[in-house]
Amino acid sequence: MKFLYVFFALIAVSLQSIGQEPKTYNDSGIVPFELIKEKIIVPVQIKGITYKFLVDTGGIFEISENLQNLFDFTQTESTTIIGINRKEIEIKTVTIPEVKLGNWSLRDRDAIVSDLYTQYPYSCFELDGMIGRDFFDNVILHFDHESKTFRMTENSNEISLNKNDRTKLKLSKRGLPSVKLKINNKNEYIEFDSGSGDFYSPKTSDVEKKMKNNDKDIVLKFYGVFSFGITMENLKSTHRYMEKIVRFQIATTTFTNFYSQFSKLSAPRIGAGILKYGKVTLDYKNGWFYYEPYADIQSMEPFKTFGFDIAIKNDTYVVKYVLKNSEADKQGLQSGDEILMIDDFSTSNISEDCYGYLNGYEFKNREKITVTYFDNQGSEKTIDLNSKTFE
């Protein structure tokens, strides 16, 4: 009798399921991505044509002016945003009838129209727009740098995940995913901004507090301009810092004894730099951040520098910032000085240098260089510098 009861119960369940549709999920499937200067770039289709879009967990949906001029999408109410120099900018907003990311079709999405992608250095990436946080409601994002594949799905069963590799995730006040980490044995929630190329950046004011507590030996101090913005207006020189991190833990993965990237004025962050060392999965639906390392022992690249860096301003190279107490600093090099020559390489009268910007300037691989420059008094000077490595 017991056997017959179980048999008929199974038949009843089978009959009940007949005619029911299986639950469907939106899923991009496997999508290739590029990591260029720690920017995550994916193919996106609009009206059957493939374009290159940045994936930015801290940004919003944008298209380039070129795409708007091409398709003339219906304009909606404009949006006001605050630019990098704290200047209010009114931005045109349009509705995109359909956007395809792999197999996932997203319809009637509002996007801002930006001219950012035509201006150096952003023009070097040849981007057509940005996929931002307004796409990531209740989804799972998965990045595998080794296979150069990306996936966005509503079904977590489509991705192989190990609970041992996860840590808590929640949204910050700014709408970015914040990840629970342990930094120098202290638990913290740090924003993950995939539009940033950093591995980890502390907050400037936090580092300055440590310096007041006589922790100066673990900090590299820089002075100069760290972002020129688009307009290059109202540029202000500030102090930024690189902090020695003794222990940095994501879930069960630990990195030890490395220098952070430059500190940020707004908030500490982790960025796309972590993709080089392991698979990353953001489960917005259930509040988890997964990090599966590629190697059992994590080895970070040391920081090597000549004590300064360069950038293009007004068609010539200038010094961005200088490391305090470095050879460059002691020999008088200052932020804003115009660079004329580095060894046999002339750096004057250059409007763009995408190769140098994207791949790193060749002189940084050398052990010794000769720099010729105009100082702030307009005098031409030449100095010899040796590289120094911080580990």
Encode the chain (391 residues) as per-residue pLDDT tens digits. 444 444 444 444 444 555 556 678 999 999 999 999 999 999 999 999 999 999 999 999 999 999 999 999 999 987 666 554 455 667 899 999 999 999 999 999 999 999 889 988 899 999 999 999 999 999 999 999 999 999 999 998 999 999 999 999 999 988 999 999 999 999 999 999 999 999 999 999 999 998 887 666 689 999 999 987 665 667 789 999 999 999 999 999 999 999 999 999 999 999 999 999 999 999 999 999 999 999 988 888 899 999 999 999 888 999 999 999 999 999 999 999 999 999 988 887 788 889 999 998 999 999 999 999 999 899 999 999 999 999 8
pTM of the complete model: 0.89
What's the CATH code, domain 160-293?
A: 2.40.70.10
CB hemisphere CA count around 120 (13 angstroms): 16
What are the sequence ranges of the domains in the chain?
Answer: 31-137, 160-293, 303-390
Q: Do domains 31-137 and 160-293 have the same CATH topology?
A: yes
Question: In the prediction, which pLDDT does 11 show?
Answer: 46
CATH topology of domain 303-390: Pdz3 Domain (2.30.42)
Question: In the prediction, which pLDDT does 210 show?
Answer: 87
* Among the listed residues 45, 47, 143, the one whose alpha carbon sits nearest the alpha carbon of residue 103: 45
> What homologous superfamily is domain 31-137 in, according to CATH?
Acid Proteases (2.40.70.10)
